[in-house]
Amino acid sequence: MAKHRGHNEGSIYQRKDGRWCGAVIVGRDATGKLRRRYVYGDTRKEVREKLARLMADAQSGLPVDVSRQTVGEFLTHWLEDTVKGSARPSTYDNYRTIIRLHVIPAIGSVPLAKLTPQHLQHLYHEKQEAGLTRTVVLMHAVIHKALSQAVKWGLVPRNVADAVERPRVRRKEFRALEPQEARRFLAAAAEDRLFALYVLAVTCGLRQGELLGLKWEDVNLEQGTLTVRRQLQWRNGGFFFAEPKSAKSRRTVPLPATAITALKRHRKQQAAERLGLGDGWQDYGLVFTTEIGTPLNPSNIRNRSFDHVLDKAGLPHIRFHDLRHTCATLLLAQGVHPKLVQEQLGHSQISVTLDTYSHVTAPMMKEAAAKMDAILNTNQA
């Protein structure tokens, strides 16, 4: 027979099998029916302590009727129901890889309601010890985002990832070409069928996906501008067009005379290729294509063209993305205002520009200080 306790303190009784049971009302469901939560133990004291913890959780805001799903089950549902369809396919692929290969095997069986910062800290430590520091950073971002959703859904009272220290990753080094190196690179690429691609990369600073997604309808050679409206991405051996990386990435970029000349030459070259193939040409309206009009694969660009041009110019094998860094570095070195460089590159915030190219902007700041001295004559005795 149940032994009742005070108001809202539940009740405790011993079952026929000798075990003890405690029950507490946790609210009402959508139909108004009372909902109860039960705890079990071998002794009255054990059940009493469990009930005390249960009611303490309720008073601190912890949902006492949380789902019994595990971390793995929650992340799988979150990935398919929330991320898929709302994020870029490449983002979804990255999240899925992190969750399936690294998170679920380690903590997937932990009940979501019992996940602690210690679970995450131990997981991060193990991965970091295995040399996967960058993976840990991405893992933390994915888990934090998922648990934020769990908080919104009322499945957990707080985001335990907030209490975890994630490792810091050293910023990836980039190798921008010096002015004379950039000239050598473009001179070596002059006879390559992708010469205009390299000219735009160096002079305009577009991302590779933005360049490969560029269509002739986006280019106005008379006005000397191009507009970034999409980017080309590859996934599982196939290509698709995606929105620019951010709102700032959708931008109109002025074309220097060098780029206009290269694009005019490239358009004539492409027209000749199209004419030679006739019906065999596959028209996507793209500026940069294969010999049959289809989108270019970044791997093929590197293996069949980019590396050869670097070798011909006597330059180290840099990344294609370093041409974008080259553009920014050259502009800043010429005294172009960082805000204009931000707009040119499509950075979402000027802090990204300043942080990335601090080695270039630092001398500019010293020059500004010197100019202030000159104006106010503060360096005179």
Residue 302 has pLDDT above 80, yes or no: yes
Q: pTM of whole model > 0.75?
A: no
Which of 306, 305, 277, 279 has its CA nearest to residue 291? 277
* H helical segments located in the chain: 44-59, 71-78, 89-98, 104-107, 117-129, 133-152, 179-188, 195-204, 208-212, 257-277, 298-301, 307-313, 321-333, 338-345, 350-356, 358-376
236: left (phi over 0), alpha (psi -120 to 50) or beta: left
259 DSSP 8-state letter: H
**Do 8 and 55 meet the contact criterion of CB atoms below 8 Å apart?**
yes
Which of 217, 220, 185, 191 has its CA nearest to residue 203? 185
The C-alpha atoms of residue 25 and residue 11 are separated, in whole angstroms, by: 10
- Residue 262 structure tokens: 């290269």
Which of 74, 50, 235 has its CA nearest to residue 145? 74
- Residue 118 structure tokens: 């210690």
Residue 9, pLDDT score? 47
Q: Which of 41-50, 88-97, 277-286, 369-378 has the lowest mean pLDDT?
A: 369-378
> CA-based diameter of the chain, in Å?
99
For 312-330, the pLDDT digits (tens) are 999 999 999 999 999 999 9
Residue 308, pLDDT score? 97
Type of residue numbered 60: S
Which of 352, 318, 362 has its CA nearest to residue 177? 318
Residue 366 has pLDDT above 60, yes or no: yes
- Averaged pLDDT, 283-311: 95
Which of 133, 103, 96, 138 has its CA nearest to residue 119? 103
* CA-based torsion, 123, 127, 128, 132: positive or negative: negative
Residue 3, pLDDT score? 46
The C-alpha atoms of residue 377 and residue 126 are separated, in whole angstroms, by: 59
CATH superfamily assigned to domain 71-163: Tyrosine recombinase, N-terminal domain (1.10.150.130)
Residue 379 has pLDDT above 60, yes or no: no
**Do 25 and 33 meet the contact criterion of CB atoms below 8 Å apart?**
no
**Do 225 and 252 meet the contact criterion of CB atoms below 8 Å apart?**
yes
Residue 29, pLDDT score? 56
- Residue 260 structure tokens: 């206009």
144 versus 1: the higher-pLDDT residue is: 144
Angle at 261 between CA 260 and CA 262, to 5 degrees: 90
Type of residue numbered 337: H
379 versus 304: the higher-pLDDT residue is: 304
Residue 228, pLDDT score? 95
- Averaged pLDDT, 81-85: 87
- Binning pLDDT at 50, 70 and 90, where does residue 362 land? confident
Type of residue numbered 94: N
CATH C-level class of 179-365: mainly alpha
Residue 26 has pLDDT above 70, yes or no: no
Type of residue numbered 200: L
Residues 6+ apart with CB under 8 A from 271: none
* CA-based torsion, 338, 344, 349, 353: positive or negative: negative
